[in-house]
């Protein structure tokens, strides 16, 4: 058994920075922010944002006030930290966060203070709806009281380039944002960056593409992989033909088999629905999962892999055949959910940019 039985999540900050630079080139002359909500999609908002900051990124987005406060501590003064879910005036204390104004009430509350105005154009989630937009367009004195860093909207179907809603949202945004002449605009998320020149704005807001999730589903992934999750083997055992493995005895060996048990499970965010559907990686070759994923353990068939021993580490996520996108498609979710589920028990190791 390995000396430290915890999994190691190795995050390649250089690859994240290289992904950001590629997106900057794609989006020029517009700028590119870093979206680091949900603890940097599970990879660690502080280290990720510090690496992007050192590379020249000066705008960051989080979802919650508390994420913004922690990020200000990590980054220090200077860069814009915008809070997508908004917050009450004063709640950011002296962290100088930038609220995203999602309702007409938010607009009134944050008069005179640097903010981002969010216009909903087709998500029906956050942002001023069409009725509130019309009211604001008619209220010149309320608009004059605003100090807007950006006016933004969010695309619902950017990962489907042929979807009609993309152009509809862009047209609605152009029309609605006209009430804020001279205010810079923010439009594309990761996938939106790949929709062409019509979706270039002053500030793009990519998240997933920075972290290596494919922003162009169905086409080859233009981004670099950024993480590798290495899990130590705890035990290897031999079983006979016809024996079963794990809860509910879902897998039965057809031949005498060698089974490796590794130290991760669904409590670490490796989804139980991947049972029987996924493989891990060792030495660039797939190692199939067998039996149920349990809370803290996963079993692998290593019958044909004598080089794997109880001193080995298995690449559970981020290797060949087990990228976040591979695992997501194996169990019917998206790479985002694989990343944001990454557990707290892994040791996070950062390779410098
Ligand atoms: C999460 C989020 C983003 C980033 O989206 P990705 O698809 O990960 O690039 C951008 N804008 C808003 C409003 C978001 O909520």
Return the CATH number at 178: 3.20.20.10
61 within domain boundaries = yes
pLDDT digits (tens, 9 = 90+) for 57-73: 999 999 999 999 999 99
pLDDT > 60? residue 1: no
Q: What is the mean pLDDT of residues 153-169?
A: 98
Quote the pLDDT of residue 4. Answer: 79
pLDDT > 70? residue 7: yes
110: three-class secondary structure by DSSP: coil
Q: What's the mean pLDDT when you consider all of the chain?
A: 97
Asked if 146 and 201 sit in the same domain, the reply is yes
Asked if 203 and 254 sit in the same domain, the reply is no
Asked if 253 and 205 sit in the same domain, the reply is no
Asked if 121 and 256 sit in the same domain, the reply is no
345 within domain boundaries = no
pLDDT > 80? residue 158: yes
Asked if 148 and 248 sit in the same domain, the reply is no
Active site residue 247: yes
Asked if 72 and 47 sit in the same domain, the reply is yes
142 within domain boundaries = yes
218 within domain boundaries = no
5 within domain boundaries = no
Active site residue 31: no
Q: Distance between CA 139 and CA 115 in Å, rounded?
A: 18
Domain span including residue 125: 13-211
119 within domain boundaries = yes
The rounded percent of the chain whose pLDDT value lies above 70 is: 99
Quote the pLDDT of residue 5. Answer: 82
Quote the pLDDT of residue 2. Answer: 54
CATH code of residue 274: 2.40.37.10
Q: Distance between CA 48 and CA 39 in Å, rounded?
A: 9
Quote the pLDDT of residue 323. Answer: 98
The model's pTM is 0.96
pLDDT digits (tens, 9 = 90+) for 206-222: 999 999 999 999 999 99
Please count the structural domains in the chain. Answer: 2
Quote the pLDDT of residue 170. Answer: 98
In 10 A of CB 10, how many CB atoms?
17
Give the pLDDT band (50/70/90) at residue 48: very high
Is 295 labelled a binding residue?
Answer: yes
- Is any atom of ligand 1 closer than 6 Å to the C-beta of 208? yes
Q: Which residues pair with 257 in a beta bridge?
A: 239
* Ligand 1 nearest atom to the CA of residue 189, by list position: 9
pLDDT digits (tens, 9 = 90+) for 292-347: 999 999 999 999 999 999 999 999 999 999 999 999 999 999 999 999 999 999 99
Asked if 74 and 187 sit in the same domain, the reply is yes
143 within domain boundaries = yes
* Ligand 1 nearest atom to the CA of residue 63, by list position: 15
Q: Where are the beta strands (DSSP E) in the chain?
A: 8-12, 31-32, 34-35, 59-62, 80-83, 98-101, 114-118, 147-152, 185-186, 203-204, 227-239, 244-245, 251-252, 257-262, 279-282, 285-288, 298-301, 313-317, 347-351
Q: What is the mean pLDDT of residues 146-166?
A: 98
Separation in Å, CA 123 to CA 63, 126, 127, 280, 351: 16, 8, 9, 36, 37
């Amino acid at each position: 058994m390995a000396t430290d039985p915890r999994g190691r999540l190795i995050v390649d900050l250089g690859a994240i920075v290289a992904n950001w630079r590629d997106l900057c080139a794609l989006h020029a002359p517009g700028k590119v922010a870093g979206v680091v909500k949900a603890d940097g999609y599970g990879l660690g908002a502080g280290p990720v944002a510090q690496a992007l900051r050192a590379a020249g990124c000066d705008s960051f987005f989080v979802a919650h006030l508390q994420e913004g406060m922690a990020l200000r501590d990590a980054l220090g003064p200077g860069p814009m930290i915008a809070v997508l879910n908004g917050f009450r005036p004063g709640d950011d204390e002296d962290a100088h966060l930038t609220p995203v104004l999602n309702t007409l009430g938010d607009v009134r509350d944050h008069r005179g203070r640097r903010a981002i105005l969010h216009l909903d154009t087709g998500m029906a989630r956050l942002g001023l709806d069409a009725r509130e937009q019309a009211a604001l367009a008619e209220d010149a004195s309320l608009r004059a009281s605003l100090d807007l860093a950006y006016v933004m909207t969010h695309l619902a179907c950017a990962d489907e380039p042929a979807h009609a809603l993309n152009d509809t949202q862009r047209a609605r945004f152009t029309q609605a944002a006209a009430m804020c002449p001279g205010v810079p605009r923010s439009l594309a998320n990761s996938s939106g960056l790949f929709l062409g020149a019509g979706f270039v704005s002053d500030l793009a807001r990519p998240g997933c593409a920075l972290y290596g999730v494919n922003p162009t589903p169905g086409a080859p992934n233009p981004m670099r992989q950024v993480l590798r999750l290495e899990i130590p083997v705890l035990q290897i055992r031999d079983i006979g033909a016809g024996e079963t493995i794990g809860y509910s005895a879902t897998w039965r060996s057809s031949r005498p088999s060698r089974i490796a048990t590794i130290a991760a499970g669904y409590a670490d965010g490796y989804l139980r629905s991947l049972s029987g559907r996924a493989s891990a990686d060792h030495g660039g070759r797939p190692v199939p999962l067998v039996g149920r994923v349990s809370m803290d353990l996963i079993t692998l068939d290593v019958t044909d892999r004598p080089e794997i021993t109880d001193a080995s580490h298995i690449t559970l996520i981020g290797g060949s055949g087990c990228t976040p996108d591979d695992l997501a498609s194996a169990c019917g979710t998206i790479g985002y959910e694989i990343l944001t589920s990454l557990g707290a028990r892994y040791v996070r190791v950062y390779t410098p940019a």
